[in-house]
């Protein structure tokens, strides 16, 4: 027995004996359980997956996840870290392209006064892992220089 039956935390301590069996207490969620009582949290993998999904989409804080799943904030943090370390290292191709978004500027900028004054963007794209595409767009700062002194 090395993890909590409710939340999966490995931070468990012995907490007395019940009917001749060792009882454990989870430090993360305060759950008491007995080794070998056949209670298993089948929903735990699904909870972890949903927590990672919500967190990675930026839709939920660690506190909110803890509230949703009835566990501590620190435990949701461990779920996220556990998922993160299990992923392969991202490998960006390192190709950075410079692009200009005329139409985008038309829609985003103030109406009509900026037509024709679009500015270049720095766009980096990559596929950190198969099936996941990432595009990062940075607008040049106002005081950028187009010429290099090097």
User: What residues line the site for Zn ion (CB under 5 A)?
Assistant: 4, 6-7, 9, 26, 28-29, 31
Looking at beta carbons only, is 9 or 76 nearer to Zn ion? 9
Looking at beta carbons only, is 31 or 69 nearer to Zn ion? 31
The least distance separating Zn ion from the CB of residue 96, rounded to whole angstroms, comes to 45
Backbone angles phi, psi at 50, to 5 degrees: -65, -40
Whether the Cβ atoms of residue 56 and residue 46 lie closer than 8 Å to each other: no
The least distance separating Zn ion from the CB of residue 70, rounded to whole angstroms, comes to 10
The least distance separating Zn ion from the CB of residue 114, rounded to whole angstroms, comes to 55
Separation CA 9–CA 2 (nearest Å): 8
Give the list of residues 6+ apart from residue 124 with CB closer than 8 angstroms, or none.
Answer: 92, 95, 96, 97, 135, 136, 138
Residue 97's DSSP bridge partners are 123
The least distance separating Zn ion from the CB of residue 141, rounded to whole angstroms, comes to 48
Looking at beta carbons only, is 29 or 60 nearer to Zn ion? 29
Q: Is residue 81 within a helix (H) or strand (E), and if so which, with residue range?
A: helix 73-86
């Amino acid at each position: 027995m090395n993890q909590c039956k409710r939340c999966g935390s490995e931070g468990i301590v012995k907490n007395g004996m019940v009917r001749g069996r060792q009882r454990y207490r989870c430090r993360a969620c305060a759950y008491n359980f007995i080794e070998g009582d056949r209670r298993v949290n089948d929903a735990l993998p699904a909870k972890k997956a949903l927590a990672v999904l919500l967190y990675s989409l930026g839709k939920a804080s660690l506190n909110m996840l803890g509230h949703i799943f009835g566990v501590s904030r620190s435990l949701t943090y461990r779920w996220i870290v556990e998922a993160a370390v299990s992923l392969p290292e991202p490998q960006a191709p390192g190709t950075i392209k410079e692009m200009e978004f005329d139409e985008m500027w038309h829609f985003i900028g103030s109406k009509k006064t900026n037509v024709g004054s679009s500015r270049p963007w720095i766009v980096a794209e990559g596929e950190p892992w198969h099936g996941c595409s990432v595009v990062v767009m940075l607008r040049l700062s106002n005081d950028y220089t187009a010429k290099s002194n090097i």
